[in-house]
Amino acid sequence: MSAPKISLQSETTAKSAGCASSTCGSSARPSDMEPAIWEKVKDHPCYSEEAHHYFARMHVAVAPACNIQCNYCNRKFDCANESRPGVVSEKLTPDQAVRKVIAVANEVPQLSVLGIAGPGDACFDWHKTKATFERIVNEIPDLKLCISTNGLALPDHVAELCDMNVDHVTITVNMVDPEVGARIYPWIFYKHRRYTGVEAARILHERQMLGLEMLTARGILTKINSVMIPGVNDEHLIEVNKWVKERGAFLHNIMPLISNREHGTHYGLTGQRGPKAMELKALQDRLDGGAKLMRHCRQCRADAVGLLGDDRGQEFTLGQISDEVTYDASRRDAYREVVARERGDRAVAKSEATELVKAAGSGKSLLVAVASKGGGRVNAHFGHAREFQVYEASPKGISLVGHRTVEQYCLGGWGEDATLKGVIAALEGIDVVLCAKIGDCPKAQLRGAGIRAMDDYGYEHIETAISTVYAAEFGAKPLAATA
C-alpha cells in the first residue's frame, strides 16, 4: 500500500512550507544540546519547545488512585499537576487505553508521545500504568512513553521504567523545605500509614529527591513541575530550582496555581489566589541561569489528545472508537518526512531572525502574542484563537516565554464585545499581536488598550515575523523576508 499524501499545510493550514530543497539536512538541534539528548527530545512536544510546533501527545486516564493530597486538587477533577481542572471524560482500563491510542495514532499523524498523568498518580496506580505501556510497546514501538508522578512511589519503579524504555518522567516538586510542604500537602499515605504535617512533607521531599537522583543516574530525562502558589512557595521555588538542577533535572516547569472556587479544592475554597501572568513571567525571568525552564506548558487534561493548546480529546471518546482497531503507520511516517524538511527551513529562518534582532542593538524588548495553529507559523485568525503564544524579542534573541489562554472571540462569523474585553484583559502587558487576519473593530479596541495588532505577516515563520516587527520598531535593516 502506498503512503497517503500528507503535508504540514493540511495539518496546520500553513500557506507556504518553504523550499523543501534549500535546507534539507539543516538541523533544528540547539547548539548547546548533545546529539544523543536531541534524539530523545526532538519529537517530544513538552521536552522541546521546537518540537511542540509539530508534534502531539496524548494522555490516557488509566491511573485514578493517588497516595497524597495536594491542597490544589479535588479528586473529582483532573490531576491539577498535569491538567486544567475539568472532569476526566472517562477513566480507561489498560485494554481500552490501548484501543484508544491505536485509533488516535491512525488519525493524528503528529502523535509522538503517550503519557500517563493520572488522573491520580501513575506510580501509585502502577499495575495499570505498566500494563498499558507493555502493550503499547508491542503495538506502536516508536511511540515515546512518558509518566507524571508526585514522586512518593517513584523510587520503587525506576528499574521497571528503565526496562520499559520510558525515558521521560515528570515529578511535581513544590517544595524542598517540609515547613513549606506542610502548607501544600495535608497528608500522604506511605507504607500502609497515613502521615500528616511536616513529617508527611519531609517523607515526600526525600522520596522525590531520591527518585530524581535514580532517574538521572540511569539517563532518564526528568522534568520537574512546580505549582506557583503566591505567598506559599513563590519565593521558595528559587531554592527548588537550585536543588533540582544539582540533581540533574532536564527541565523545570513553573505552572500557575489554578484555584477557582467552583473546583472545590482547599485552596479554591479558602481564597488562595493563583499568580497573574506577569507575576509568573517575573519569577521565570529570575530563574534564568538555573535549571532550564519549560515555558510552553499548557497544563493539559489527564485525557488530552493533540498538539499542545489544541485538545482533540472529545473526538476520541470510547463510544467513537470501533471495537477492532489495527495500527497503520503510514500517515505518521509520511508526516515525519514532511516535518523533517519543514523544521530545517524553520531553523534557518529562526537563525536569521535572531541575528536581525541582535543587530538592532537597541537594548529594548518587545512582548509579542502570536495566533498560531501549529507548524511554527503565524497562521490563526485573531477571532478564532483560543490561545496566544507569547514571545519576547530582546537583545538576547527571540524566545517563547509563555502563552495566554482566551475565550474564542469570533463564533459563526460574529464577535461578542464581552468576549473581546476578556481577550484584551488576558493580553495585559503585550506590545504587539500577530495573527493571520483581524477585523477593523477588534484591531481598534486593541489599539485603545495600547496593543498593536497586525495581520501583515500571516503564514510567515513566527520568528521571521517578530524580527521584522522588531527591526521596524527599533531601526535595524530587515533581512530578506521569506517569500
Question: What residues make contact with ligand SF4 under the rule CB under 6 A?
Answer: 46, 57, 66, 68-70, 73, 79-82, 115, 118, 120-121, 150, 297-300, 308
Q: Which is nearer to ligand SF4, 120 or 442 (CB)?
A: 120
DSSP SS3 for 385: coil
C-alpha cell at 365: 524588548
Residue whose C-beta lies closest to ligand SF4: 73
Distances (CA, A) of 36 to 39, 40, 221: 5, 7, 12
Measured CA to CA, the distance from residue 54 to residue 43 in angstroms comes to: 8
Neighbours of 31 (CB within 10 A): 6
Closest CA to 242 of 194, 290, 311: 290
* Nearest alpha carbon to residue 302 among 456, 439, 158, 148: 148
Amino acid at 115: G
Nearest to 430 by CA among 413, 409, 454: 454
Nearest-angstrom CA–CA distance, 177 and 184: 11
Question: Residue 190 CB, nearest distance to ligand SF4 (Å)?
Answer: 13
In the complex with ligand SF4, the residue whose CB is nearer, 6 or 283, is 283
Question: Cα(133)–Cα(113) distance, rounded to whole angstroms?
Answer: 12
- Closer Cβ to ligand SF4, 151 or 442, answer by number: 151
Q: How far is CA 292 from CA 94, 243, 358, in A?
A: 34, 13, 22
Smallest distance, Å, CB 299 to ligand SF4?
5
From the CB of 85, what's the least distance to ligand SF4, in Å? Answer: 10
- Alpha-helix runs per DSSP H in 361-449: 417-426, 440-448
CB-nearer residue toward ligand SF4: 240 or 438: 240
Q: Residue 48 Cβ, how far from ligand SF4 at the closest point, in Å?
A: 11
**What is the spatial distance between Cα 54 and Cα 458, in angstroms, rounded to a whole number?**
18
Query: Whole-number minimum distance, CB 354 to ligand SF4, in Å?
Result: 24
Closer residue to ligand SF4, CB minimum distance, 69 or 468: 69
Q: Which is nearer to ligand SF4, 99 or 263 (CB)?
A: 263
What is the β-pairing status of strands 187-190 and 193-196?
A: antiparallel
Q: Which is nearer to ligand SF4, 346 or 403 (CB)?
A: 403
In the complex, the smallest distance separating the C-beta of residue 181 from ligand SF4, rounded to whole angstroms, is: 12
Alpha-carbon distance of 302 to 88, in angstroms, equals: 7
Shortest distance in whole angstroms from residue 217 CB to ligand SF4: 23
Number of H helices, E strands in the chain: 14, 17
Q: How far is the CB of 298 from ligand SF4 (least distance, A)?
A: 5
| Cβ distance to ligand SF4 smaller for residue 255 or 466 | 255
